Structure 1
């Protein structure tokens, strides 16, 4: 406890933690104390309500020019399992989601060099025209930068055209880890961390909110994790555009990192809870919503994480391919009543929300 006494004082005084504080937390094995501090900060900031959303994931293609070493989802065009959804196929998925009560479509894919910009625009405009009540959280910062590079447009022009077509917000994917040396080892052909932050900053200035992510449990260091979270905090201080932070658990199965770096198991439950708690403590007061993404950590760890700083359990999801390609064993769909049960069983108040964290219904 002595090693964390200065951090306890800062948290009680609502002071920002710095890089050295983050390193102390990362190197500490006192998970119970770190969790208690995060739970205190969570309650002080957002109370006992836990957010969830009725959403559907649509992964529109797996053909990718990036081929990240941590990814088991991508395919070359010639491979049998390669696919790209037509707009009609996307509309069919959206219709099913709408009938199941979804209020959000989460649309992400790979960097497919064969898809023109108009495809992305048409996906949004068709969906927005038929389902105006569903929000369209679509295309990661990596996809936005790729579209800009291929089309010759600026990041701002791409975002403005997509916003006009119906884009509501950006998902947080592609953040991975910002440290340049580590990033080059796990995703050498992806945009840099600085470029990712610039896309997000541009979106925020245009009134497009977003989420933020970090991939942990691969070859990153403690300092990489602290640096990543603090860079997000600095951008949030300038723009206020991040709505939630999602620590993403690395799943090694079928990835190049598993084959070449011999990462067999990925992070443990201890790691999952510790990263969730430290995220709350470093971001607290800036990014208020910390997600325990049940698809990646499993529903039981997600439930426990609600006592380690998390206040959002994501949503129904309905369909998810990326994590499952890397060995994710969770179901592809979580019924709303199951989410409510998990939250209530953890002693929290379930609240169904919109993409922008407006309350739809509180379940007492």
Structure 2
């Protein structure tokens, strides 16, 4: 099967791709080597990252905080960030007008900061509460300053799996309709998969196939991010099933298959460093991944305002990771252009 894959990745059918997700030993090593070679052909030997700050909508919306959203954004800019990632719903106790109000406040504070805001569930919640269609809300958010939208909350794009993970959540059709609507009005997004819980290899492959299909129709995905479900993060109703999370072999195989299956469609494969230990991070970067995503600047003003606070990755650490891989680093923007020299200089000076 690997010989066929080397000769022509398109010759492998979905059943065979699913079999490769179970690769072990020498076969797994060869699969990862193929994926790493494909990564090199597509994007070269750079390890990229973006300087960003994550903010949780509910944590920054209130007026009683010791630091306003304007303070947090201004601090992020002063520390060298080029992106603010804003996720999470506006609490029901607050006016839904805050969805757009926060966007306007962030844009007014740092006009050159890229705003990566609102996952599909938040888009649909905002639209519903504001009596708008998802398209109307997305257009309003774009016009207010949103630059891209997170493709998280995709989970696994299979209604059976989604019904187990979030029984009251969105259907596959609703997720796809919303993300393609965003792409259609010029808002690009990430593509994601949450793996290692109740899904099957066949469902993982079908998820990747659907993402590729969307990308061929819209061209809207900037990168693919594969995120393992950590047992401690499993929904309460699943913990009784003893969710173990994926093994290292499963993580390596999925990243390698994702790189090879998406060739010609999605160029960048991001390693979800906050959810991988050092061994797994090194393994996926040697098996198809080319990017480590955001450094998640905490700042000193309310470092707990981000959902992954305390998980900061400084540029020197990225350089150390790249050096071990024999690669160079490049600070990128959200859309994978090279970050402006002045932004790079600020980040390097702050975290020297």
Is the structural similarity TM-score above 0.5? yes
Task: Show the counterpart of 1:347.
Answer: 326
Task: Show the counterpart of 1:67.
Answer: none
| C-alpha displacement of 1:21 | 3.4
CA change 1:260–1:323 in 2 (3 A) is farther
Q: How many residues align?
A: 330
Unaligned runs of 5+ in 1: 62-82, 325-330
Residue 106 of structure 1 contacts residue 138 of structure 1 at CA under 8 Å; is this kept in 2?
Answer: yes
Task: Show the counterpart of 1:259.
Answer: 239
Residue 214 of structure 1 contacts residue 247 of structure 1 at CA under 8 Å; is this kept in 2?
Answer: yes
| C-alpha displacement of 1:258 | 4.8
The answer as to 2:20 corresponding to 1:25 is yes
CA change 1:112–1:201 in 2 (3 A) is same
Name the TM-score, length of structure 1 as normaliser.
Answer: 0.85
| C-alpha displacement of 1:89 | 2.7
What is the CA–CA distance in structure 2 between the aligned matches of 1:4 and 1:156, rounded to whole Å? Answer: 43
Task: Show the counterpart of 1:75.
Answer: none
Task: Show the counterpart of 2:301.
Answer: none
Q: Kindly provide the CA deviation profile for residues 56-98 of structure 1, in whole angstroms up to 9, marking residues without a partner as x.
A: 111122xxxxxxxxxxxxxxxxxxxxx5632663222222211
Task: Show the counterpart of 1:73.
Answer: none
What is the CA–CA distance in structure 2 between the aligned matches of 1:97 and 1:276, rounded to whole Å? Answer: 31
Task: Show the counterpart of 1:47.
Answer: 44
CA change 1:153–1:16 in 2 (3 A) is farther
Higher relative contact order (CA 8 A, sep 6+): 2
Task: Show the counterpart of 2:165.
Answer: 186
Q: 1:89 aligns with which of 68, 73, 79?
A: 68
CA change 1:17–1:157 in 2 (3 A) is farther
Task: Show the counterpart of 1:8.
Answer: 6
Residue 41 of structure 1 contacts residue 309 of structure 1 at CA under 8 Å; is this kept in 2?
Answer: yes
Aligned-partner SS, 1:359: coil
Aligned-partner SS, 1:247: strand
List aligned pairs for 1:1-364, cutoff 5 A: 3-11=1-9, 15=10, 17-29=12-24, 30-61=27-58, 85-86=61-62, 89-110=68-89, 112-253=91-232, 255-263=235-243, 265-319=244-298, 322=307, 331-360=310-339
| C-alpha displacement of 1:143 | 1.1
Residue 16 of structure 1 contacts residue 282 of structure 1 at CA under 8 Å; is this kept in 2?
Answer: no
What is the CA–CA distance in structure 2 between the aligned matches of 1:309 and 1:345, rounded to whole Å? Answer: 15
Aligned-partner SS, 1:360: coil
Aligned-partner SS, 1:261: coil
What is the CA–CA distance in structure 1 between the aligned matches of 2:94 and 2:135, rounded to whole Å? Answer: 20
Q: Kindly provide the CA deviation profile for residues 237-287 of structure 1, in whole angstroms up to 9, marking residues without a partner as x.
A: 000000000001101216415532221x31222222221111101111101
What is the CA–CA distance in structure 1 between the aligned matches of 2:250 and 2:125, rounded to whole Å? Answer: 32
Aligned-partner SS, 1:207: coil
What is the CA–CA distance in structure 1 between the aligned matches of 2:264 and 2:183, rounded to whole Å? Answer: 18
Larger mean CA deviation between 300-309 and 15-24 belongs to 15-24
- Divergent runs of 4+, >6 A: none
Unaligned runs of 5+ in 2: 299-303, 345-352
Aligned-partner SS, 1:149: helix
What is the CA–CA distance in structure 1 between the aligned matches of 2:115 and 2:130, rounded to whole Å? Answer: 22
What is the CA–CA distance in structure 1 between the aligned matches of 2:13 and 2:137, rounded to whole Å? Answer: 35
Indicate the RMSD between aligned Cα atoms, in angstroms: 2.1
Residue 90 of structure 2 contacts residue 98 of structure 2 at CA under 8 Å; is this kept in 1?
Answer: no
